[in-house]
Amino acid sequence: MKIGVSGASGQLGRAVVAELVRRGAGHGVVGISRTPERLQGQAEGRHGDFDAPQSLVRAYEGLDRVLLIPSVDLRPGVRGRQMKDAIDAANNAGVKHLFLVSAAGTRQAAPPEMREAYWTAEQQLIRTAPTWTILRMNYYAEAMAQEIQMSLGTGVLTGLGEERVAYVSRDDLAAAAAGALLSEGHAGAIYNVCGPAAVTGADRARMAAELTGKPVQFAVITEALLRGGLAQANLPPEIVEAMVEIKHSFVASAFDIVSGDAERLAGRKPRALRDVLAATLT
C-alpha cells in the first residue's frame, strides 16, 4: 500500500511520517507539501500546493490512502477552500481512502470564523470521498505550554471562563493518525483524538506553578481585556481573531471531550498535559 501525508513538512506532518516509517511494515510513504525537501529523505517527497489544485492531483496519483493536514493559513475562508480543493484533487487522482485532521467540536460555521475550514472540509469529505475517516484533534498541549511560558513574567494565565480542555500532545496525535492509516476498520469513523483528561484554567495555573516554582494564577477576563493584551503584544490581526475565537470555543466546551480514541488508534496511552508541561517547562 502507498500512503500519502499532505502537509508533511510541518511539525505534525513530520511526526506522522516518522511514525509511518517506523511501524510501516513495508508500506510506501509519500510526503507532500510545497517544500518536500524538508523531509530530508525520511520518505519519498512530492510537491503539492493547496493553492494549486493541479499540483495536488499529480502529487496524489498512485496513492491508496492520504492524510490531509490543513495548513495554518488564517486568512478568512482560505483553509476551507484549500481543503475542498485537496479533497477534489484526491478524488480525481483516484485515492481510495481519505483521512482528515479536523478539530474537536466542529460544527456548521462560515467565514471569517476559523473553524469554518474544518466544517467545510468535513462536509466535502463525507459527501464526496469513496471512503473517509475524520480525526478531530483536541488543542495542542505544546501550544498551552508556550502560552504558560509567555505568562510566567506576569504570573497570570487568562481565559474567558472555566475553559475545560482535553489537551493532546502532537506526538500522540501523530501516533494515532499513523495507527489509523496503517490499520483497517476506520471507514466512516469520526474520532476525537484527545489527552486523558479535561483540565480547567485553574488546573493549568496550578500545574504551571508547581512545575516552575513560580507563582501562577488563572484569571477570568473580558473579551475586551483579552483583545487589549493581544494587541499590546503586537500580534497580527488574524492571530488576535484566532486567539479570541479559540478562547470562546473553550468556554463553549468545544474541547471538553474525553475519549479513548487516541489510545485505541495509537496503541499506547496519550500523555497527560502535566507530563508535557513537565518536559517543556522544567
Ligand X SMILES: NC(=O)c1ccc[n+]([C@@H]2O[C@H](COP(=O)([O-])OP(=O)(O)OC[C@H]3O[C@@H](n4cnc5c(N)ncnc54)[C@H](OP(=O)(O)O)[C@@H]3O)[C@@H](O)[C@H]2O)c1
Residue 7 interacts with ligand X (CB under 6 A): yes or no: yes
Strands 189-193 and 217-220: unpaired
| 266 and 176 Cβ atoms separated by less than 8 Å | yes
Residue 155, Ramachandran bin (φ over 0: left; ψ between -120 and 50: alpha; else beta): left
Listed residue (44, 133, 49, 43) closest to 96, CA to CA:
133
Return the number of the residue (49 or 256) whose C-beta is nearest ligand X. Answer: 49
Identify the helix (H) or strand (E) that includes residue 80. helix 78-93
Using CB under 6 A, pick the residue from 23, 51, 110, 146 that binds ligand X.
Answer: 51
- 109 or 140: whose CB is closer to ligand X? 140
Residues numbered 115 to 174 that lie near ligand X (CB under 6 A) are: 137, 139-140, 143
The distance of closest approach from Cβ of residue 53 to ligand X in the complex, given in angstroms and rounded to an integer, is 10
Q: Any contact of residue 55 with ligand X (CB under 6 A)?
A: no
Shortest reach from residue 213's CB to ligand X, in Å: 27
Is 70 a binder of ligand X (CB under 6 A)? yes
Which of 13, 159, 196, 270 binds ligand X (CB under 6 A)? It is: 13
- Of the candidates 80, 86, 78, 64, the one whose C-alpha atom is nearest the C-alpha of residue 131 is 64
User: H-helix or E-strand containing 134?
Assistant: strand 132-137
Q: Say whether residue 5 binds ligand X (CB under 6 A).
A: no
> If binding is defined by CB under 6 A, does position 35 make contact with ligand X?
yes
Nearer to ligand X, 34 or 248 (CB): 34
Amino acid in the structure at residue 131: T
How many Cα neighbours within 13 Å face the side chain of 181? Answer: 35
Least distance between ligand X and beta carbon 34 (Å) = 3
**Residue whose CB is nearest to ligand X in the complex, by number:** 10
**Nearest alpha carbon to residue 169 among 272, 248, 100:** 272
Q: Which residue's CB is nearer to ligand X, number 139 or number 218? A: 139
Burial string for 61-86 (b: 16+ CB within 10 Å, else e) reads bebebbbbbbbeebeeeebbbbbbbb
Asked whether position 49 contacts ligand X by CB under 6 A, the answer is yes
Among 3, 4, 12, 261, binds ligand X (CB under 6 A): 12
Q: Which residues bind ligand X (CB under 6 A)?
A: 7-13, 33-35, 49-51, 69-73, 101, 103, 137, 139-140, 143
